[in-house]
Structures are given as structure tokens and as C-alpha cells.
Chains A and B, each alone.
Chain A
Amino acid sequence: MTDISADLLALTTTLKMAAITTVILLLIGTPLAWYLAKWQSRFKVFFEAIVALPLVLPPTVLGFYLLLAFSPTSLPGQFWQSATGSQLAFSFSAIVIGSVLYSLPFVVQPLQKAFEQLGDHHLEAAAMLGAGPIDRFFSVVLPLTKASFITATALGFAHTVGEFGVVLMIGGNIPGETRVLSIALFDHVEAFNYANAHLLSAGLLIASLLLLSMVYLLGNNFNKRQQSAINS
């Protein structure tokens, strides 16, 4: 395989991982953010700290513990093996699970803040008009916190694309399975293949910059509207 086609494969693996991770993050991060926003207990800070851990922890620490958990000799690893028939460690599923944990705060935190800001006022009004909880979420919460959902999605996606430590620990370097862009880049540098390293680095840098600029541009516009709408 040429370097270029290997790098393209790493790119598709990365995008696939980031896309799947982002979808899972929105599905579990939304209810999690909702409960953290509404929950009133002194234990809440503990759970907030757990969600925020990946922000401060070296990814390799998370990766190390996940590696232990995913090994065929541990309980989660065994369970996965008996349920799917294949090993969890060094698989695509493993790096998706790792990414979900690693990018969790980037999705949960903006959503939690948005739900807290939204408050109960509009939800109570909707309930008085006959809307049940699910109905209220889709007809009131989602449209009024759209800006935060866009921010959460983009940050979750971008952060997953940029992941290295966790993948290295639990995914290894299997082309088409767990070899993502950051790993491919590391390989090029180790092989003194600076031309390809430049290509990947500059590509990632520009793509990330563009994505973040777009997030902030959209976020600013939407946020202004979100704020004025909620406060009106």
C-alpha cells in the first residue's frame, strides 16, 4: 500500500470513528446533561467531576484503564467476547468506546449549561398546554437550545478527530480498523517521513481551524438569538 492510500484509509477510519462517536455522544450526553442540569443534590458535583475528568487526565491514563477493562481476561472484555464473538481490545469498537468517554465533557458541558439557562418556565407553560415530557423536549427544549447542540456536536466531533493517546493504548495500529490520522502521523515521524507528516499535520490543522471557526461563527449568531429568546 502506498503512503497516500494508507493515509486516506486512516482518514476514512478517523471520520467514521468521529461520526459514530458523535452520534453516540449526543444520544447519551443529552439525557446525562439534562439530569445534571435538573438534579439538585450535593452528590451532583461528584458526577460533574467524573464527566469533566477527561479534560485534565492524560489520555494515556484513561487508555490504560480501558485496556485493562477490555482485555479478554477482564469481566467487560469477556462479556463483549461472549456477546459478539470477537475481542474488544484493539478493535474499532474499542476506540469508539474510548472516544465516547474521552469526548464526553465536550458534549455534556455545553448542553448542561444550555438546559440550566433555559430553566423551567417555558417547560411549565408547555405542560399547561397539554405537552408531555418527550413532546416538551422536541417542541420547546430542542428549538430553544439549538445553538448549544451545534456547539456540542462540533466540539465532540473535532475533539474525537484529534484523539491520540486513548487510541494508541486500546486500539494499536491496525490499518482500516484502529489506525487513525494521529497514529498515522506518529508513524511518519518515527520513519523520518517528514513530507507525509507535513501533509497530515497541515491538513488536520487547517480542517480543525475551519471547523472551530465555523462553530464560533454559528455559535455567536445562534447564542445571541438563544439568549434574547430565552430572556424575552
Chain B
Amino acid sequence: MSATPNYLTLAFKLAFNGFEIAVDQNIHLSAITGIYGDSGSGKSTLLRVISGLEQKAIGHVSLSGALLQDSEQKCFIKAENRQIGLVFQDSRLFPHLSVYQNLAYGAKRQKQSTLSIEKVLTLTKLNQLQHQNVTQLSGGEKQRVSIARALLAEPKLLLLDEPFSALDKTTKSQMLTILKEIQQQLQLPMLYVSHSLSELQYIADQLIVVSAGKISQAYPIHQAIHQLNSSGETSAKTSLSLTVAEHLPDYGLTRLSLPTSQDNVCSIYLPLLEQTAQPNLIGHQLRCIIYARDISISLTKPEHSSIVNHLSATISAIANSKTHALITLQVAEQQFYAQISLWSANRMALTTKANVYIQFKANAVHSHHYTESSPNA
């Protein structure tokens, strides 16, 4: 693959479905940039413009300085010449071709290829299926073929439009893990569109939010998710990276540590992670989500509680809504969000800078992590 592109310049307008998408943003491409928005917000259209499938977009699009389209200069590079890959939500495999032939379709049309079909079959764990008819594949298999096919067209940038939204939870986790591995192996920048924040939190390093045809800047993933808390559009949550410290199989728990600059290590426990595969994950970073509604606040250290996780925290902000209070708390460098009733907030007389304890069950810590040696999606 030629030099990895590092930024995408978008400055265009496009009328569609009765409203206008207007974008003016310079996106520094990271490994995987997430694009989040409700259905109909314009996120798929954004990908279609970058792909070259929307000829009516007025304005400018370029990838690392290489012009893709500019309506003033009357320049429009066609989709087939952009070297951008697109994985569709509905896979769009060619039904008259086998799995292998679908992959060869993209590979055959490249002047120089650095990837072999065999390598991509291995990356996407499709070796067993290569001679199958694509109409007989399951949803997860179809999307693996779709990704493999896109990779073999040797794109400089890979766009994924809700690729796993139709899959069940387990298959989705497997797919996300595979996609992340592919990204790490090929160092191919990706834009990943989804309406599921937990999916994006697992896969993306930075996040762009699309809302009513406008797009935000890209922010680091945890920061972007925390910013959404204040918008009130999504259920408030804490997004954080934790390090796997030890497995406690006798108790069905895994202990994670929250990195702090001080000497004292904060421990957070979650249900025991599957350990069937190598390696055993100790030392690995794991992205976790804790919903604000699952975190409660105590004024005293909850030593006589069945709840395993309790951390000393300082209140940094209190935001009241009609029904509840959203409390922002600081534990070392990490922010936490707790949602409690107004009644409790009043009763406890919470104020900013107060020192309190937050507590949550092990089950409240969610992670997309999935390990199994051979996915059979």
C-alpha cells in the first residue's frame, strides 16, 4: 500500500431527503475514526460523498492533499478511481460469484497488489468458506467476505457503513475483534459509521458526531462520549480504558486497574473474562463503559456492602434535570458520571468539591471484549 493518508479534507454541501448536509471539517485520520449519529442524520451520506457515489455534492473533498472532487475546478474523480473501500451495511456481495470469486473481483482490478487473496482469507478467517456460494452464508460470514473483498481492492482508506448492525451481539463482538486485528496488521485508516456508541467505543480511537447534517470535530473516544453525556441525547455513561491486572476464577471476577499518577492503584472488578484463547490478557488495555444510572453515591465508605466496586471520588459538577441529577466525579485523572434521583441529591446535600464514594456492581462494567480462537459466525 502506498503512503498512508493522514488527513481528509471535507467542505461540501448536499441536499438529500428534504434536508441539507453541510460539512466543513479537516479530519486527521487515526487508526479507526468512529462516526456516530442517529439514523437519518446523514452519516451514510457522508461516507457516500467520500466514496464518490454522490456526484451532486457541491464543494471540495481531498485525501491527504490529493483532490477527489472540487465543483469549482469541475473536478470529480469517479468512485472506481478513488482507491477508497466501502463496506455496505447490506454487504452487496455478487450473488453469481463464489466467495473466492467475490474476493478476486476487487483483486483483479488493481494495477499492483501487495495483498494476496490467501493472506486476506486468513485475516478474515474465511479459508474454510472460499468455495461456497455467497447466498448461503450467514450474516456474519457475508460481512467478513465484504470486508475481505474491500481490502483486496487495496484501498488507501476503508469506509464501513454500519457493517455489523444486523448481527447478533456475540457475532458482532467477534467481528469487531477481527476488524481491529486487521487494522493493526495492515495499518489501514478506517472510518467506521455506527449508531451504537458501545460498538464505537470498542473499535474507534476518536469520534465524530453527526447530527442533522452537521458534523463535529474528531475528539478522542472517551472525551467524545463524555461530551455526549451533557447533550442529553444518549443515556449518560462513563467511558474509560482499564488495564487487566489479574483473573480471579474462584470468584468469577477479573480485576482491572485504573491508571493513576499517584502510587495507590484503583481496582475495578468485572465478571471474569473468557480465557480460552492465548494470551491471557494480563497487562492488556480494555475499554469499558459504565452507565451513569448504574453508579450510586455514598457519603461514607461502603464497607458493609455486597457491591464490589467502590472508589473514593470528588464531585466536580452537578447538573439537574427534571427527573434526576447527573453528577460528574473525579477519581484521580478519570471522570465518572453518576445519575441519581433529585430526591437523593437533595437528601445528601451534594455539593461540588465534596468527597464521596461511588459504587457499582461488577455486572455494571461493560466491555465488548471477546476471545475465542475460531469464530463460527
Contacts and interface: CB of A to CB of B under 8 A. Distances in A.
Given A130-B110, A139-B105, A232-B135, A125 B92 contact: yes
Contacts of B93: 125, 232
Contacts of B135: 228-229, 232
A125 B80 contact: no
Interface string A112-154: 0000000001101111111110010001100110000000000
A130 B109 contact: yes
Nearest to B81: A130
B153 A128 contact: yes
Contacts of B83: 130
A230 interface: yes
A221 to B, nearest CB: 15
A127 B109 contact: no
B109 A128 contact: no
Contacts of B347: none
Contacts of B74: none
A101 B86 CA distance: 43
A228 B95 CA distance: 9
A129 B52 CA distance: 12
Interface string A142-170: 01100000000000000000000000000
A134 to B, nearest CB: 11
Given A124-B53, A228-B135, A129 B109 contact: yes
Contact of B80 (A121, A131, A140, A228): A131
Nearest to B103: A129
Task: Find the residue from B81, B84, B93, B95 having the highest chain A CB count within 10 A.
Answer: B95
B370 interface: no
B94 A128 contact: no
B28 interface: no
Contact of A129 (B53, B90, B96, B150): B150
B373 to A, nearest CB: 30
Interface residues of B, number: 27
A230 B109 CA distance: 23
Interface string B270-312: 0000000000000000000000000000000000000000000
A130 B151 CA distance: 12
B105 A121 contact: no
Contact of B79 (A124, A139, A143, A230): A124
Given A228-B135, A229-B135, A125 B94 contact: yes
A103 B70 CA distance: 45
Contacts of A143: 96
A230 B95 contact: yes
Nearest to A132: B80
Nearest to B159: A128
Nearest to B83: A130
Contact of A121 (B90, B106, B153): B90
B85 interface: yes
A11 B123 CA distance: 62
Chain A interface extent, by class: 20 to 34
A43 to B, nearest CB: 20
B247 interface: no
Interface in B87-130: 88, 90, 92-96, 105-106, 109-110
Contacts of A232: 93, 95, 134-135
Contacts of A228: 95, 135
Contacts of A229: 95-96, 135
Max count, chain B CB within 10 A of own CB: residue among A121, A130, A144, A229? A130
A144 B134 CA distance: 14
B51 interface: yes
B79 A144 contact: no
Contacts of A132: 78, 80
A130 B92 contact: no
Contacts of B368: none
A128 B52 CA distance: 9
A128 B84 contact: yes
A125 B88 contact: yes
Contacts of B105: 126, 129, 131, 139
Q: Which of A122, A125, A126, A229 has the most CB of B within 10 A?
A: A125
A130 B95 contact: no
Given A121-B90, A139-B105, A232-B135, A128 B51 contact: yes
B153 A130 contact: yes
A12 to B, nearest CB: 37
A36 to B, nearest CB: 20
A230 B135 CA distance: 10
Interface string A34-50: 00000000000000000
Interface in B40-61: 51-53
Nearest to A123: B92
A127 B153 contact: no
27 contacts: A122-B94, A124-B53, A124-B88, A125-B92, A126-B94, A126-B105, A127-B80, A128-B53, A128-B153, A129-B109, A129-B149, A129-B150, A130-B109, A130-B110, A131-B105, A135-B109, A139-B105, A140-B94, A143-B96, A144-B95, A228-B95, A228-B135, A229-B95, A229-B96, A229-B135, A230-B95, A232-B93
Interface of A: 121-122, 124-132, 135, 139-140, 143-144, 228-230, 232
